[in-house]
Amino acid sequence: MDNKEQLSLTLDQLIRAAREIQYSEDLVPAQWEALRYLARANKYSLTPSMVANFLGTTKGTASQTLRSLESKGYVKRVQSTLDKRVTIVTPTPAGLEKLETDPLGTVLKLVDGEGREEKEILLKSLERLLTLMKTQNNGCHFGYCPQCRNFQKSKSKFGNENVGFCRLANEELKETEISKICAKFTQLPTFSPNSPKR
């Protein structure tokens, strides 16, 4: 078996294993994924259509997933204060508590048993694979402020918190917001050491 076949088989097994363990408690994989996303997403990324983009599914399927989560008391829908036509979905305290039993936590515990170097190699490989897949799909890119083209570091403080600035939203960002996933993220250009000098 060559490397390509081996990689394809490993990836296939990994995806199936990750799905299987998420049929857990009263949720199915898509519901766990949506709940996990909503708990990690920033305030610009909480609409049903952004959940659909993140899950790589249709708006109808995402709405069904959100309705199930809502009926179980794990998320709630509210009207955006900025635009009344927009619905915002947020996890409830029960939803956040549910995530403490996230089945993917068992995988993280396994990884935790590995050495520091092995963990770094694993993380870098997975990130690289994800970047390649996103480029291929030309799909929606979710990411974090420090790697975003619209982010500006700021030396000012908000209370005791450092803040940054989002040029897209034209708004200051608290430290807690900077570490959340954003649906409006635009990747900073990455330069390879072999890129021609400008």
Q: Give the one residue of 68, 150, 162, 174 binding ligand SF4; rule: CB under 6 A.
A: 150
Q: How far is the CB of 172 from ligand SF4 (least distance, A)?
A: 10
> Taking a C-beta distance cutoff of 8 angstroms, is the pair 165, 77 a contact?
no
- As measured in angstroms, the least distance from the Cβ of 190 to ligand SF4 is 16
Whole-number Å distance between alpha carbons of 125 and 135: 15
Q: 3-class SS at 82? A: coil
Among 1-9, 49-57, 132-140, 181-189, which window interacts with ligand SF4 (CB under 6 A)? 181-189
Given the complex with ligand SF4, which of 74 and 151 has the nearer CB atom? 151
Residue 51 binds ligand SF4, judged by CB under 6 A: no
Residue 52 · residue 61 · CB < 8 Å:
yes
140 binds ligand SF4 (CB under 6 A): no
Of 5-13, 14-22, 111-119, 145-153, the segment contacting ligand SF4 by CB under 6 A is 145-153
Residue (of 104, 120, 134) closest to 15 by Cα position: 104
- Of residues 29 through 48, those in contact with ligand SF4 by CB under 6 A are 42, 44
Q: How far apart are CA 50 and CA 59, in angstroms?
A: 9
| Angle formed at CA 18 by CA 56 and CA 46, multiple of 5 degrees | 40
Q: Does 66 bind ligand SF4 (CB under 6 A)?
A: no
Torsion-angle region of 23 (φ positive above 0: left; ψ -120 to 50: alpha; else: beta) = beta
Question: For 185, what's the count of Cα atoms within 13 Å in the CB-facing half-sphere?
Answer: 28
The dihedral through the CA atoms of 135, 137, 143, 149 has a sign that is positive
Does residue number 142 form part of the binding site for ligand SF4 (CB under 6 A)? Answer: no
The reply to whether 182 sits near ligand SF4 by the rule CB under 6 A is yes
Is residue 185 a contact residue for ligand SF4 (CB under 6 A)? yes
- Exactly one of 38, 50, 148, 163 binds ligand SF4 (CB under 6 A); that residue is 148
User: How many binding residues for ligand SF4 (CB under 6 A)?
Assistant: 12
Which residues contact ligand SF4 (rule: CB under 6 A)?
A: 42, 44, 145, 148, 150-151, 166, 168-169, 182, 184-185
